[in-house]
Structure 1
Amino acid sequence: MSIELKGEAKISGKNCIIAGGTKNMGGGTAEELAKFGCNLFLHFHSDKDKANAEALKEKLSKSVKVELWQGALDDESDVSKFFEAGEKFFDGGIDICLNFVGKVLKKPMVEFSAEEFESMDTVNNKIAFFFLQESARRINQNGKIVTLVTSLLAAYTPLYSLYQGTKAPVEFYSKGLSKELIPKGVSVNCVAPGPVDTSFFYSGGEQKQDIEFYKTVTIRQRLTYVEDVVPIMRFLVTEGYWITGQTIFCSGGFTAH
């Protein structure tokens, strides 16, 4: 069934900037928004991601304007350069800002090194803060901002303390910013999926028995798929514009909030 967007929900001709926008959840969301005519400025991190990013650009450029930007975003100046490049590419400024950048590492709190803490804090917390800050400065009237977080924010569990702790601040950044941007008509939200069947999930050190357990507690007895979450991302930047200051949990029952 095709979806026809009307009124304020229309994004045809709008401009979207996406951090972590060429694979997994970010790439899936980019493809979804392109179906509705949204132009895209997509960030990817490193050379190993380049071939996949270029393939996605070639695919989506058949219907909308697409450009790529490579970088680490580890410093606030990098985030600013990313947004500056996006504004330069687009004709008409930025309407939608989406952040999918993240890093997961699963092990006991006592085993984390200072270097691991700094890396996790930079990727999950610092980048998210400065991405929201730049979004607020540059986004057009009635724009939409969404950050991907994690359903583990509602979980009582061991081994994820650093992941949970470095993702948790993003909820409060988003709540506060949603209030600050009311005069501009901009919605600001977070989306918190369950364990998603992607390379990101498996990079954190998951064990087979844990993965099998995660499946047993969901409504479909499986992990979350990208296609379970992408429609929610699209909804928040189209018909769901009335939702703001919220974290939407979409975990299939893995957690409830």
Structure 2
Amino acid sequence: MRTNETGRVALVTGGSRGIGGAISRRLAADGLAVAVNYAGNAAKAQETVAAIEAAGGKAIAIQGDVGDPAEVAALFERTCQAFGRIDVVVNSAGIMPMAPVAPDSLADFDKVIATNLRGAFLVLAHAAASLGQGGRIIALSTSVIARSFPSYGPYIASKAGVEGLVRVLANELRGRGITVNAVAPGPVGTELFLEGKSPEQVARIAELAPLQRLGTPQEIAAVVSFLSGPDGAWVNAQVLRANGGFA
């Protein structure tokens, strides 16, 4: 296993599978060492690490709940211990249970907010404290915000909050040479998106974008790669909607 080519280090939360897994692999292919965070599926995380190492990259897997302050602090500490620094932080960890805006949906709402919004706040806060000049902070949002589909209320509320945090943090980091952006995917063919949907529902959603298909995790990872690399240096406080025209 060779050292990372660029000397740069990325921490990817929710980085073991789906969009997060694709981001971990792409950043490793770009020459960064990658800390792959996962919540509970150690096997998937090790699979992602093994794939990165098989391709000549460098990666480690670190378990941690992004909604837990102590575990997020430990995540950043362990990444620094392993690689000596952190240059790029990508907050991809998230959940998406469907629930209407109704009194008996409060438990689902609290669960989504705890992971998607509280988790983003903690990860972004530690990223702001850990990164130096040239650092990149990227949070995953969603393009479904613009569609306002029924039963997406808790998820949309959490991601709208993430977009707000991104813009505020970019201003708070004024003068430090660190960019803060969000990537808002449209429908992407991942386990998270497909869960609970019939083939007919998936087909209908795929048709909504002018490109008439679902996106791929690799296409979202390419946008994150752009924001993390030299070509993204002048992009700051933005939400990039990678969605095929979905919204």
Normalised by the length of structure 2, the TM-score is 0.92
Q: Once the two structures are superposed, what CA deviation does each residue of 1:68-126 show, in whole Å capped at 9, x if it has no partner?
A: 101223211211111111111112x1100001111112232226433212211101110
The answer for the alignment partner of 1:34 in structure 2 is: 28
Q: What's 1:6 paired with?
A: none
Change (3 A) 1:156 1:115: closer
Match of 2:169 among 164, 170, 177: 177
Indicate the residue corresponding to 1:189 in structure 2.
181
In structure 1, distance between residues paired with 2:97 and 2:25: 28
Does residue 25 (structure 1) correspond to residue 19 (structure 2)? The answer is: yes
Please list, as runs of the form range in 1=range in 2, the aligned pairs for 1:236-247 lying within 5 A after superposition: 236-238=227-229, 239-247=231-239
Q: Work out which of the residue numbers 119, 138, 160 in structure 1 matches 2:130.
A: 138
Aligned residues: 241
Give, in whole Å, the separation in 1 of the partners of 2:60 and 2:18: 18
Q: Structure 2 stretches of 5 or more lacking a match? A: none
Q: Residue 215 of structure 2: SS of its match in structure 1?
A: coil
The one-letter code of the counterpart of 1:69 is I
Amino acid at match of 1:43: N
What is the DSSP-based 3-state SS (H/G/I as helix, E as strand, rest coil) of the residue aligned with 1:32? helix
Equivalent AA in structure 2 for residue 22 of structure 1: S
Give the C-alpha shift of residue 182 in structure 1. 2.5
What residue in structure 2 maps to residue 15 of structure 1? 9
Cα RMSD (Å) of the superposition? Answer: 1.5
> Quick one: distance in 1 between partners of 2:103 and 2:97?
11
Partner residue, 1:90 = 83
Matching of residue 59 in structure 1 with residue 48 in structure 2:
no
Q: Deviations over 1:181-239 (max 9, x none)?
A: 12110000000001110101123x33443322112122332112112211111000111
- 1:229 counterpart (220, 226, 234): 220
Aligned pair partner of 2:73 in 58, 80, 84: 80
Match of 1:3 in 2: none
More off after superposition, 60-69 vs 230-239: 60-69
Conserved 8 A contact 2:49-2:61: yes
- Per the TM alignment, residue 51 of structure 1 is displaced from its structure 2 partner at its CA by 1.8
Judge conservation of contact 2:66–2:72 (CA < 8 Å) in 1: yes
Query: 2:216 is matched by which residue type in structure 1?
Result: Y
Is the contact between residue 188 and residue 244 of structure 1 (CA under 8 Å) also seen in structure 2? yes
